[in-house]
Amino acid sequence: MKKLAITGGTPIRDKKKNPWPKWPVWDQAEERALLEVLHSGVWSYNGPKEIEFNKKFAAYIGSKYAICAANGTVTLQLALEACGIGVGDEVIVPGLTWQATAAAVLDVNATPILTDVDERTWCISPEEIRKNITPRTKAIIPVHLYGCMADMDAIKAIAEEHELIIIEDCAHKHGGEWNGKKAGSIGDIGSFSFQLSKTMTAGEGGALTTSSDELAEKLDALRNCGRRPENENAEADKGAGVYGDDGNFIQSGNFRITDFQASLLIEGLRRLPEQTDVREKNAAYLNNLLADVSGIEPMYHDPRETKKAFFNYSFRYNCDAFDGLPASKFRQALEAELGCTIESCYEPLNNCSLYRPHTKPARHNLGREYWQKIDPDRASLPVCEKVFADQAVCFHHLVLMDNQEAMDQIVQAIEKIREHTHELITLPEVV
């Protein structure tokens, strides 16, 4: 008799009788907030909800400023532009990240330098950063990936030594802390995403955080068609020749959000601390369970990571403890047992179907040297490739919003797969 759910057996968790928590989370508070904006007639940018959210988010992150923008991809691009990064400059980025981290560098005509990661955390390796620094290097974009944070002490030391800018990609790390400082307040600029799957969401949207007056002024203008930022010093600055005669500050486009989105973000921020605590508690419980499971290694969390925030819950799989069962088949079997989506990590950028700079020659072919340098195939990313192909097992954060019994079920499903691995060896993989 077949025992595994993927081969016809009974699953550990019946998703119809016992569904996982839903995401996004909302109730009458969001409904009231949206209706308030609707009836106010102030639907566009710089509305009262956006102003309120910016203040509250900056206070939460511990930065002097927070500035909303259209999405997390745009926030990275605007951060680079505000820092004066462009043609001839190199920016060090991890090879294991969503493609937007590197694509934003391309979009300001700079060169992304794909860099390998630490196998324990999947975040950019400080040792590999050092290897990739050249006279053209201007910035580092560390990505706090899934449930882990990049080693910000080491990265800050490197940046100070070489006079480099740090732009934190915090799309996965709303509320995470390093040495008591929240992600987004450690580097020069923090970049956040509020896309639907993120732990704070308005469907789409993003935010930038900084404590630099100069950078905040540029970021505000860049997301708002280059317009002079609205502040009490604006008229004096204009008279002093800081801006052009027309009051414009810098060439840019429209990268704003609406007050509808801001109203959702205010409620999301209100919910975030409690949700973060629930995820952290369940992740710690599950990590303790998995530490005793052969062939499964929880992600390494540095003691300096004083508050853990999880976009995905991930662990490392070793096929040797499962009779050589490939990670892809293990994930498929686990997904069938638990009734939730389970994936590998992001595809390394040197072989990512969504990161193909050479498909846009009209935009990115700025000359033979640049064209060659932005070819992803040039990057050597052995750790990224190993993690993606053989090790990564990733759950969406909604799984961590359940209870301890659900965490127990994850371990039960893993042990069930180990006991019945023979059912999977000849099973064709689902593409």
**How crowded is the C-beta side of 122, counted as CA atoms within 13 Å?**
30
Which residues make up the CATH 3.40.640.10 domain(s) of the chain? Answer: 28-268
Convert the pLDDT of each residue in 9-57 to its tens digit. Answer: 999 999 999 999 999 999 999 999 999 999 999 999 899 999 999 999 9
pLDDT per residue as tens digits for the range 401-427:
999 999 999 999 999 999 999 999 777
Q: What is the pLDDT of residue 228?
A: 83
- Give the pLDDT score at 54: 98
Classified as helix, coil or strand, 101 is: helix
- What's the start-to-end Cα distance of the chain, in Å? 26
Q: Is the pLDDT of residue 354 over 60?
A: yes
Whether the ω angle into residue 24 lies within 30 degrees of 0, i.e. cis, is: yes
Quote the CA–CA distance of 364 and 103 in Å, as a whole number. 11
- Judged on CB neighbours under 10 Å (0-12, 13-18, 19+), 303 is exposed
pLDDT band at 1 (very low <50, low <70, confident <90, very high): low
Whole-number Å distance between alpha carbons of 240 and 232: 14
Query: What is the model's pLDDT at position 347?
Result: 98
> Which pLDDT belongs to residue 231?
56
**What's residue 127's pLDDT?**
98
Rounded to an integer, the average pLDDT of 94-100 is: 98
**245-262 mean pLDDT:** 85
CA nearest to 277, candidates 401, 172, 184, 173: 401
Provide CB contacts within 8 A for 27, sequence distance 6+.
Answer: none
Query: Is residue 336 within 8 Å of residue 319, measured between CB atoms?
Result: no
Buried/exposed 155-185: b ≥16 CB within 10 Å, e otherwise: bbebbeeeebbbbbbbbbbbbbbbeebbbbb
Is the model's pLDDT at 284 over the cut of 90? yes
Closest to 185 (Cα-Cα) out of 154, 208, 161, 160? 208
Q: Are 227 and 200 in contact (CB under 8 A)?
A: no
Mean pLDDT on 101-112: 98
Burial class (CB in 10 A: 0-12, 13-18, 19+), 54: buried
Name the DSSP class of 397.
G
Ordered strands of the 296-298 beta sheet: 296-298, 312-317, 392-396, 342-343
Report the chain's mean pLDDT, rounded to a whole number. Answer: 94
The residue type of 212 is S
> What are the start-end ranges of the E strands in 38-131?
65-69, 90-94, 111-115
Q: Answer for the pair 341, 312: CB distance below 8 angstroms, yes or no.
A: no
For the record, the structure tokens of 365 come out as 């072919």
CATH of 28-268, one of 3.40.50.620, 3.40.50.10860, 3.40.50.970, 3.40.640.10: 3.40.640.10
428 has a pLDDT exceeding 60? yes
Strands 189-193 and 165-169: parallel
Dist CA 224 CA 180 (whole Å): 33
**How are strands ordered across the β-sheet holding 65-69?**
65-69, 206-210, 189-193, 165-169, 137-140, 90-94, 111-115
Please list the residues that pair with 191 across neighbouring strands.
Answer: 169, 208
Report in angstroms the alpha-carbon separations of 407 from 32, 83, 89, 240, 324.
34, 44, 46, 61, 25
Q: Please state, in angstroms and rounded to a whole number, the distance separating the CA atoms of residues 209 and 175.
A: 13
- 235 falls in which pLDDT band (50, 70, 90)? very low
3-state DSSP assignment of residue 208 = strand
CA 427 to chain centre: 34
Given a cut of 80, whether residue 325 has pLDDT beyond it is yes
Residues of the chain with CATH 3.90.1150.10: 5-23+272-345+386-423
pLDDT band at residue 240 under the 50/70/90 scheme: very low
Query: pTM of the prediction?
Result: 0.94
Q: In this model, does residue 185 exceed pLDDT 60?
A: yes
Question: Per the structure block, which two tokens stand in for 220?
Answer: 């505000």
pLDDT digits (tens, 9 = 90+) for 291-317: 999 999 999 999 999 999 999 999 999
Q: Which CATH architecture has domain 5-23+272-345+386-423?
A: Alpha-Beta Complex (3.90)
* CA 221 – CA 207 distance, rounded (Å): 14
